[in-house]
Amino acid sequence: MIPGNPILVYDGPCTLCNRTVQWVYEKDLGGHILFTSLQSKWAKTHVPTALQKVDSVLFFDGTDWYTKSDAVLYLLRSLPRPWHSFFELRIIPRALRDVAYDLIARFRYQLFGKGHCALLPTDRVLD
């Protein structure tokens, strides 16, 4: 069963992703966002099959799943001010946002390296 909380599903070995997870954890003052890696058992059994081939980030807002730049913007919308204000960038056409997203995603290992999964309190991690 999928909890009603927002869930950030990230690439576990990606250093950029892990830094982002740590950043989100610190900014999520209400502690409502849950985290899991794409490689987790939870993701393999609960992420919709059509999205299991995504290799960077997914965001579940409690109702719907988002990918690529939409995932980032909906994630930011779930954070307190001033971060949720960045959701307004949604006025930029998705095709343009996703080109930038895909470029960063494609070279994330070369630019930021690979590392270990983010260390978070276990009550916020889905295994």
DSSP string, 73-92: HHHHHTSPTTGGGGGGGGGS
- Say what the alpha-carbon torsion angle 70, 72, 73, 78 is, to the nearest 10 degrees: 120
Residue 16 or 121, more confident: 16
pTM of the model: 0.91
For residue 60, being part of any structural domain is answered with: yes
Q: What is the pLDDT of residues 36-75, one digit of tens each?
A: 999 899 999 999 988 988 878 999 999 999 999 999 999 9
Residue 2 is assigned to a structural domain of this protein? no
pLDDT in tens, 70-106: 999 999 999 999 999 999 999 999 999 999 999 999 9
Q: Is 17 exposed, middle or buried (0-12, 13-18, 19+ CB in 10 A)?
A: buried
Domain that holds residue 73: 7-124
The number of folded domains in the chain is 1
